[in-house]
Amino acid sequence: MGFIGKRTLMGRKKVLITGAAGRIGQVMREGLKDRYDLRLMYHRTVLEVAEGEEVVLGSVADMAAIEAAVDGVDAVVHMAGDPSTNASWESVLEKNIQGVYCTYEACRKKGVKRVIFASTNHVTGFYEQDGVYTTPELPERPDSLYGVSKAFGEDLGRYYVDEHGLEVICLRIGSFQPDSAVIERRGDRILATWLSHRDCVQLVWRGIEADVRFGIYYGISANTRAYWDIQSARQQLGYDPEDDAERLA
């Protein structure tokens, strides 16, 4: 692992984005660049370095690599991992479970307080299958090994808050899709579960800035048909989503 590029602006928070080559990571890179100096962690793929960015190579499951990556940042936006609901145990064990452990532990060692953890709605997926309106306070009911791995990340985050003084914001991300996907797929669950790009960016930066030590929040837009509750995100983080899938249906 090593630094391969660095251009910084003075006087702003520095934020590490893991999984920067992923769908959400790329949107975060673009959406957060005007607020923060960014350090982007890639496992393999590397994009051109822009002003205010640093780029590092390595795996979040490699303790030495992630320790070096978090060193000197103010917050970590942890997006790295296997995002598939069909992911194998071997995959989620390394990329999601080992990866999030190494990330929290590296932050503890390097004195980085704030972690935004990209969790998933699949932590409570069986409520959705039963037609239950779901709040973050309900017990976990993961619907896949992927969901199990993200539930572990939430629980481990709670431990690191209570035991080591980290600050962890867990975002149970919904259907992160561009506007065009809502238009093309109108009538299915995306009308309830959609998270627009700009609302996702807002949710993340509000998570970075909020005076909250720990919280679990659903990450969706202000969808008329929503069955995941976002009131706690509104009240505790100041989240004010701009989009509603219904307007595109």
230 strand-pairing partners:
none
Q: At what angle do helices 63-70 and 99-110 cross, to 10 degrees?
A: 50
Which stretch of 3-12, 81-90, 102-111, 145-154 has the lowest confidence by average pLDDT? 3-12
* 227 is known as an active-site residue: no
162: CB partners within 8 A, 6+ apart: none
Give phi and psi for 240, each to the nearest 5.
-135, 80
The larger pLDDT score, comparing residue 46 to residue 140, is at 140
DSSP state at residue 167? E
Q: Is 163 exposed, middle or buried (CB count within 10 Å of its CB: 0-12, 13-18, 19+)?
A: exposed
Q: Express each pLDDT in 139-186 by its tens digit.
A: 999 999 999 999 999 999 999 999 999 999 999 999 999 998 888 876
Q: Express each pLDDT in 107-151 by its tens digit.
A: 999 999 999 999 999 999 999 999 999 999 999 999 999 999 999
Question: What pLDDT is stored for residue 49 in this prediction?
Answer: 80
Instruction: State percent of the chain over pLDDT 90.
Output: 86
Question: What pLDDT is stored for residue 21 in this prediction?
Answer: 94
171 strand-pairing partners:
118, 217
Q: Is 187 exposed, middle or buried (CB count within 10 Å of its CB: 0-12, 13-18, 19+)?
A: exposed
- Mean pLDDT (the chain) is 94
Give the model's confidence band at 1: pLDDT under 50 very low, under 70 low, under 90 confident, else very high.
very low
Number of structural domains, the chain?
A: 1
Question: What pLDDT is stored for residue 186 in this prediction?
Answer: 67
Give the model's confidence band at 8: pLDDT under 50 very low, under 70 low, under 90 confident, else very high.
very low
Instruction: Encode burial over 83-112: b for 16+ CB neighbours within 10 A, e otherwise.
Output: beeebeeebbbbbbbbbbbbbbbbbbebeb
Q: What CATH number corresponds to the domain at position 209?
A: 3.40.50.720
List the catalytic residue out of 101, 127, 146, 160: 146
Q: Range of 143's domain?
A: 3-248
How many angstroms separate the CA atoms of 99 and 92, rounded? 9
Q: Is 102 helix (H, G, I), strand (E, B) or coil?
A: helix
Question: What pLDDT is stored for residue 6 in this prediction?
Answer: 44
How many angstroms separate the CA atoms of 193 and 190, rounded? 5
Over residues 188-217, the mean pLDDT reads 97
The answer to whether residues 60 and 103 touch, using CB atoms and an 8 Å cutoff, is yes
How many angstroms separate the CA atoms of 57 and 18, rounded? 10
CA 200 to the chain's CA centroid? 9
